[in-house]
A and B are shown apart, each in its own frame.
Chain A
Amino acid sequence: MAVLSTLIERVFRCVDVMHNVEIMDSGDQKPLNRRGLLFMAVGLSIAVPAALATNVMLQRNLLPTVAEPSAVMVDGWVLDERDLSQTVATFSGE
């Protein structure tokens, strides 16, 4: 699975480079040109089925998901109260 994940990641990186869409620090975005779309289509046709199959595995989002957030305000941020404890690591599975 890990190999597949890396492979998919690579395909997307490759698509990025090929149609020369820069991911700049500023986050500026450029519309894709036709060539870009073609590469994207090729990339997608490989990546999407694989991605769907490995969807769960690729959830490398380490923030917890919380069914009923109990919102608290800390330093101006709205957090779930569990954010304040080390239980985050449990949620993240690490």
Chain B
Amino acid sequence: MIYNTKTGTLPLQDHYNHCIIGSGPAGLSLAITLAAAGRRVVLVEAGDREFTSESQIQYEGEVLGLDTHALDVARLRYLGGTTGHWTGRLLQFDPADFEPHDNVPLSGWPINHDDLSRYHDRAARFLGAPPFGRTRRPADDTGAVDIVTQHFSSADTIFDLRKDEPRRLGTYFANELERSTSIDTLLNANFTGFAVDTATGRITSATIQDYADNRYSISADSFVTAMGGIETSRALLHLNATYNDMFGNQGDMVGRCFMDHPRLDLGSYFITKRMFSPLPYFGAERLIHRAPQQMVLSPSPGHARQNHILNAGVWLNFPRRAPLSQDTIETAPFLRNLTFDKDYFFSGEAVLFSEQSPNPRSRITLTYQYDRFGLAKAALDWQLLPLDVATMRGTALAAAQFLIRNGLGRMQVEPNLWNSAPAEDIPFFSSSHHIGGARMGPDPSTSVVDENCRVHGAQNLFVSGAAVFPTSGFANPTYTLVQLAMRLADHLIAQPT
């Protein structure tokens, strides 16, 4: 059932198996999986069914480091979470994303790609995509660049980002939550803190507060924070401030290694190639879709390692059967000299999304400003390292060279990136992918949660979401965080209630 604190008091049960805080993809997929296994779940959501300013304003915070979206803009605080305005692109992490890199401190996951592969199909189904297995294939014989498969959170196999709606999880699952006898969903219910048995490290209850300042206490066997990357760190920082760093902060790691996917508009590209290209991909795409689908080019793991760069991809976005604009040709006289196939000519914009390395100085902290519940607001200090800039540059160059090598076309690259200008001169921006802050690892001195997403030092407190990713890959995070939520569900189901 869905209960709303605005329309009545909450008929809470004395005790639940699991209390999940946050109804975005990380919380919702977990709740639904646990309920399907017969568990009694309470799903605590700070917002309403739709956007309200009363809830959203609680997301205000400070931006201290690299410029990024304001904290109350980048994410959404109501049923379904940030999927209320996401784009719905689904990519898998690569097997290599889970492995440690020699020259990247703090790299490597305590689990690997195979640990998540059993959740591939279920995660895709939950997010509204067909199952997808193989993700990379070599783009040409050199093995330097791969074409990466991307899917969308839409029932359509062909998804037009300009027109189609991705799955909005709040709207999509509202009826199921309404009918559920295993999940009590609480709306306009703000989580404000935990009660703790300090002798055992057990969380005994969660406190929630509504907008009329009524407070409720929820008792459960286990508690999961699924409030999004930034709020999860914020909640753990509050908890550790009260309980002397006993919850995952033994190594002062809570909030650290915050990562985003730096996004850089590279400029225009064009592709000009007949359909019987020696590259099967182009032939097939041309036949089936009448135009190349927007395509993701990524240096192969071997090429990336050889060139000491991280993982990244160039999206050849929205190929349009349209000539380059006259303006572009005016500024690039060489184009007049090139002879290309005017019957088959597509152009569009190239955009780069890049992995960033885990960096303890890139972090979420608490400010001295307080929200209406008396909790310190979050500050985001996003930082990049030189390796991150080298990754953007190396990837853009590999994609551009791939087009040249195969006679496919040409693309632009942001000149400051090409010229190895310092990071501050490169106009990259945030992708609003909030990753890290509660990183996963075996060692409490360098991580916050263990391989089962349990907070170090806590018996029954878990984290669901991209906050636990030790490294960021370059894939949009939601598909992987849903796989992890389903894996966490299996772990919780295996535990006695």
Q: List 18 A-B contacts (CB under 8 A).
A: A25-B321, A29-B158, A29-B289, A30-B158, A61-B273, A61-B408, A62-B341, A63-B409, A63-B410, A65-B407, A66-B404, A71-B397, A76-B267, A76-B412, A76-B415, A78-B401, A78-B412, A83-B337
Q: Nearest-CB distance from A32 to chain B (Å)?
A: 7
For A36-48 the 0/1 string (1 means CB < 8 A from B) is 0000100010000
Report which of A25, A29, A61 forms a contact with B274, defined as CB distance below 8 A.
Answer: A61
Bound-state CA distance A80–B275 (Å) is: 23
Q: Which residues of chain B are near A88, meaning CB under 8 Å?
A: 337-339
Bound-state CA distance A83–B339 (Å) is: 10
Question: Besides A76-B412, A77-B335, A78-B401, 12 other CB < 8 A contacts?
Answer: A27-B346, A28-B160, A29-B293, A58-B276, A63-B338, A65-B405, A71-B397, A71-B404, A74-B334, A75-B331, A77-B411, A78-B413
Closest residue on chain A to residue B157 by CB atoms:
A31
Q: Which residues of chain B are near A76, meaning CB under 8 Å?
A: 267, 331-332, 412-415
Given contacts A27-B291, A63-B407, A94-B339, contact A73 B415 (CB under 8 A): yes
Q: Which residues of chain A are near B6, meaning CB under 8 Å?
A: none
Q: Which residues of chain A are near B415, meaning CB under 8 Å?
A: 73, 76
B residues near A, CB below 8 A?
156-158, 160, 267, 272-278, 287-291, 293, 318-322, 331-335, 337-341, 343, 346, 396-397, 400-401, 404-415, 418
Q: Nearest-CB distance from A34 to chain B (Å)?
A: 14
A-B pairs with beta carbons under 8 A, tally:
134
For A54-68 the 0/1 string (1 means CB < 8 A from B) is 110011111111111
Closest residue on chain A to residue B406 by CB atoms:
A65
Closest residue on chain A to residue B397 by CB atoms:
A71
Bound-state CA distance A54–B261 (Å) is: 44
Q: Nearest-CB distance from B257 to chain A (Å)?
A: 33
Closest residue on chain A to residue B163 by CB atoms:
A28
Residue A69 is within 8 A (CB to CB) of chain B in the complex: yes
Report which of B160, B293, B334 forms a contact with A77, defined as CB distance below 8 A.
Answer: B334
A60 and B274 form a contact (CB under 8 A): yes
